[in-house]
Chain A
Amino acid sequence: MTEFDAATAAVQAALDAGARYADARVMHRRYESMTARNGDVEELTQDESIGLGVRALVGSSWGFHAVPDLSDAAARDAGRRAARTAMASARVPGPPVDLVPVEAVTASWASGCQIDPLGVPLSDKGDLLVGATRTMAEHGADLAEGLYQIWDTAKWFVSSEGHRIDQRIRECGGGISATSIGDGETQRRSWPSYRGQYGTTGWELVESLDLAAHAAQIAEESRALLTAPPCPAGETDLILGGEQLALQIHESVGHAIELDRILGWEAAFAGTSWLDLAQLGSLRYGSELMNITIDPTIPGALGSFGFDDEGSPAVKRDAVRDGRWVGVLAGRDSAAMASLDYGGSVRADGWARLPMVRMTNVGLEPGPHTLEEIIAATDDGVLMDLNRSWSIDDKRLNFQFGCEVGWEIKKGRRGRMLRNPTYTGIGPLFWRSMDMLSGETVPWGTPNCGKGQPGQTGHTGHPSAPARFRNVRVGVSA
């Protein structure tokens, strides 16, 4: 029995049990991670998981059931259970459910991969992390940490509309961090970011990060931060590095344009959105420099795929154009409910989880400047980079971010290093204050986006570059 056979059996059983629509995904995922600390491997974990999840629509109610068994009997039982669960949903019914049309296709897709990350010898991968963390420890870090993660996922998708799609997505990445512990506080510097950089690529991505070459510098900077002056409190011009701006996009744009949030489906947990569908196409989200795209077709970015988890093909769309809000992240049912004509942004983090609206690659198109030009054009401000903490309200308006490091900007020059830099603001006001944007774009990968109940961890990508924002409140402290 093939994976497609199991998915087909589950779909047919759901239809036989009364579903008017059903789809099923078999997923086989291999995962490997290694962490190292202070020159020793700390933990090596390998996981292999395979199973089937089937979704059934009975009337206007959904049900989902997942099992780790691909036998014909188990698949059919899962399909029947999904339909039965959907019938239970009808005890508290909602509005009619429709699905925006998607062409049923038979297709295969695979992400690019030059060096199979699971094929790289563990000893080589261990040596990389051990060497980098040892160097950080030798250069003053109290805690020198390194990690990599690898996901190798094969999916087989079948729907009652005739989809038959298989995909192979390989993702990996890693990074290092140096922590110095002072009297009552800690300071950390990381490369290239706290959890590293990730993409839908092979091991060549990790090699390109050149972890060893940056180990000494970040260790020394983490120690230096312990005695650096604190970030001053007040309003000033703020220049954000690209990695921090990627998280700013993720939190204050990506989540806000999720249609399930806008419709209230996440109201009790992840929250809603400040956006009102009646303003789609007209709302001023940010300055005219702000052009945000939803683009799962970017080769190598972490939010890339061929088809989403309900069979919609990857398509690039605008979310914000010239500062105006023009698009959302949607699934087939949420789009139909909102009278939109596209989905394409629905994914699940495993076979046991229900597909839901998730970010793909939500990124900022490049601007005309360089970071150095932005600094040179700034008379008085703060440059912050690499995220340390992130928090935003349930409507995605009020945010506060902390960064690992800041630098004074005086008269167009980078000055002293600043510790504990934080900034806070309101999403649309903040984005409207963006007046300079660089073209040094990097597709930052975020492998830890939490959403949904039961909880799911999404993988998203965020092309971004350094930018300047005017009159931002910085230096908030306890």
Chain B
Amino acid sequence: MTEAIDPLKLAGAKPKGKRPYFLKDPDVERVLAVTMALAQEVAVMRERLDTVERILEEKGTLSQSDIEAYNPPKPIAEARGSWTQEYLARVLRIYQQEIEALDNVNEPSSEDIGHELGAE
């Protein structure tokens, strides 16, 4: 009955309604989307590695089903959550800097300062 469903193809289907693009160059937006999808997959891998480490540390052995069934107690879940926050702060650092720069729009550049320092 569900032969018609190809999950791989349909999972990423486009929703009805024209997609908005926000960046000046839509190609950049595409690259941003690919980058964030990759960032997602790195986080997924990191969480899996963390699960593997914790099971090994506790039991010394490991099976696929241990990984699938793993449910971190609250302090561990929070440590993993903190890692993800730290990770996102790293990945999206450029935005942090731009936001900080908003507080000082007339900030001189190194070039400006160089001119100033070199002036007689």
* A pairs with B: no
Please list the residues of chain A having a beta carbon within 8 angstroms of any beta carbon in chain B: none
